[in-house]
Every structure is written in C-alpha cells, then in structure tokens.
Amino acid sequence: DDTKDISVSPSSRAITLERAGEPAGFAFSVKNNKLSTTTFSYIVGADDVSKCGSFTKNEADDYLLVRTGTFTLPRGQKLDLPILIKFNIPKNAPPCTMVYKANICEGSSTCSLQSTNTYTSIPQIFVTIK
C-alpha cells in the first residue's frame, strides 16, 4: 500500500507455527516518506507471553532467527524485498500464543522496543505455537 509507511504480510499479523517445523514468520516493508535518503533500523521482540505459563520474554526472543537490522531508502522509495522475520520453534516450546512487536526507527543508532525515534511500528504480531 503506497499510502502507508509500513506493510505487513500476512496482513492479519497472525501466524501459526509448528514446533520443530521449518523456520517461518512474517514480512514487512517500509516506505520512506522523508524528504531525503534515510537510514532505518528495526528491532523485533516479545511483548506479551502471559498466555504461556512461566515462559519469559527472553525465551520468546530466542525463537527469532534475526531480531535487528538496518537498511537505507531513498526519498519516496519502499523496500524492493521486504524484511523477513523468521522464528525457529524448538520441539519443547510451550503450545500457546505470544505477542511480538516490531519498531522501525530513524537512523542507524540503537533501536529499542521503547525508542522515542520510532518511524513506524507493528504493535502486535500474534504467534501461535501448535
């Protein structure tokens, strides 16, 4: 969608993953609505694991193959290839639904889930482990 700063696939932001299955996940693309070429950084992390018993956010973050990255976009351009975020779910993972968040920040400095320099974000990505 050329009118939005970010597009996510699947658009429902909900994915179901099999324990010990092939790594899978979601993708996002960003459009640079700034007046000049801009470098962006991103981070993905667990936001809510309360439906998973004593499971922690740090344990959920360990399921991500890549949590952070950077890219540069010319003015008015979007990513040619969306950023793919994959999860590797081990056989002993709890069967439950976790909520992840992704922040896309301006600049290549450290981007956190609580960053104040957020360009755009994906507030909820629902990951159900079966």
Q: 71: which residues sit within 8 A by CB, 6+ positions away?
A: 30, 39, 40, 79, 83
Residue 66 has a pLDDT of: 94
What global pTM score does this model have? 0.91
Residue 123 has a pLDDT of: 87
Beta strand extents in 1-130 (DSSP E only): 6-9, 14-17, 24-30, 38-48, 68-73, 83-87, 97-106, 118-129
Q: What is the pLDDT of residues 39-89, one digit of tens each?
A: 999 999 999 999 999 999 999 999 999 999 999 999 999 998 999 999 999
Residue 2 has a pLDDT of: 65
Largest Cα span, the chain: 48
